[in-house]
Amino acid sequence: MGYTGEIEALLQILAAGLLLGCLYGLMCAGLGLIFGIMRVINFAQGDFMMLAMYFGLTGVALFAPGRSWAFATAMAVACAAALVFYGLGALTHWALVSRVSGARAVDTADAGHTGQLILTLGLSLVLQNGGLMLFGSSPVSIPSDAGTQSWTLELLGGDIMLFINQARAFSALMAVAAVLLAILLMTRTGIGRQLRAVASNPIAALYMGVNVDRAFRTAFGIGLALTAIAGVCVATFYPFQAYSGFDFVIIMYAGVVLGGMGSVGGAFLGGLIIGLVQQLSTLVLPAQLQNTAVFVVFLAVLLIRPQGLFGRSVERA
């Protein structure tokens, strides 16, 4: 095979890294948005994603006419999941998160961080164990033909063959579309302006007539909606159960910090980089060290650019 083999391996793994990285990016964008605007570290983000996976599975079981339509149905369910999880996020914020963040936490010594930590960790445990009781312990996934089929690309007269998984490819496109919409929402709409104002200086935003509590609720809802889309997409090719959220939450945090806190686009790129590093590292390192490679890069970025690759090193006012 010679160099052709090496090039094939590089291109194949690059493609895998890009496809997976887009989904990581979408997960990170959701978490990054919540952290960037509210300064709340949501440890339950992965578990909300797990709920979205089951939402996707149930939606496909109810509405897909057959296995061949399962993936298309899953994409439609992912859009519905965005709306449902926006509502769930707003409700969770209203009922729980608002008690330890925003105006109520201003007077506390640590700006509510301890309360937020305990609340979101507690929520995570409730969701995991509630999920186990409700959905059982068997790993499941959305059974679709796209999940096991790939397109074959032949390059250099067939010397190089690339296999692109259909479910991952469409999911990556969906992820890019969702992030672009989120960026447009943040930069081109009145809601986005309010969210950015609240993120920059909540007290000044309050004086300017912005309903900070409502803006936080919106941010929490959008953050969960983005992660829910990622969850349904992942469920089309990845077997999951009630504890699967934990598999992704570390990646989400690494992506958000790597990309730069407070930037939706930065968080997406952070996730994308993590996907690429995780896969490309296997070209030179044993597969066992995939995640080690991710965290070596993560630490290196923190050393050289503590504010993250695309973050700003400005103190919040």
Partner 1 sequence: MTTITRRGLLGTALAMPAIVHGTARAQSAPIRLALLAPLSGPFARQGELMRTGATLAVEDVNRNGGIKALGGATLELVIADAGANVEQVTSAAQRLAADRELLAGMGAWASSFTLAATEVTERAKLPWITLSWADTITARGFHYVLASSPPSSRIIPAALEPLLALAGKVAGKKPSTIACINDDTAVNQANMKPLREGGFEKLGLKTVMDENFSVPLSDATPLIQRLRRARPDLVLLGTTATSDSRLLLQTLTEFGLGQGKVPVIAPSANFGTPEMLKNMGANYLEGVIGVAGNWTSKRQAALNADLMKRSGEPWLIQDTLSLYGHVALIADALERAGKADRDALMAALLATDTTEGPARFFLGERLRFEKNGRRADAVPAVFQWKNGKPLTVLPEADAEAELSWPRPG
Please answer whether residues 24 and 269 qualify as being in contact, where contact means their C-beta atoms are separated by less than 8 angstroms. Answer: no
Nearest CA among 34, 66, 64 for reference residue 232: 64
CB of 82 to partner 1, least distance (A): 24
What three-state secondary structure class fits 47?
Answer: helix
Count interface residues toward partner 1 (CB under 8 A).
44
Stretch touching partner 1 by CB under 8 A, among 39-47, 48-56, 197-205, 286-294: 286-294
- Please, which of residues 90-149 interact with partner 1 by CB under 8 A? 128-129, 132, 136-141, 143, 147-149
CB 88 within 8 A of CB 45: no
CB–CB of 196/215 below 8 Å? no
Q: Provide the β-strand partners of residue 153.
A: 162
Q: Does 68 bind partner 1 (CB under 8 A)?
A: no
Assigned token pair, 240: 């999951």
Determine the residue type at 152: T
Per CB under 8 A, the list member of 69, 96, 150, 206 interacting with partner 1 is: 150
Phi, psi of 155 (to 5 degrees): -120, 160
Binding mask 174-213 for partner 1 (x = CB under 8 A): ----------------------------------------
Tell me if 101 sits within 8 A of 40, measured CB to CB. Answer: yes
- Report, in this order, helix, strand and coil percent for the chain, each rounded to 5: 75, 5, 20
58 makes contact with partner 1 (CB under 8 A): no
From candidates 5, 87, 122, 306, binder to partner 1 by CB under 8 A: 5
Q: Which residue number, 157 or 286, has a Cβ lying nearer to partner 1?
A: 286
Any contact of residue 236 with partner 1 (CB under 8 A)? no
Residues binding partner 1 (CB under 8 A): 1, 5, 8-9, 12-13, 16, 20, 67, 128-129, 132, 136-141, 143, 147-150, 152, 163, 165, 237-244, 247, 278-279, 282-283, 286-288, 290-291
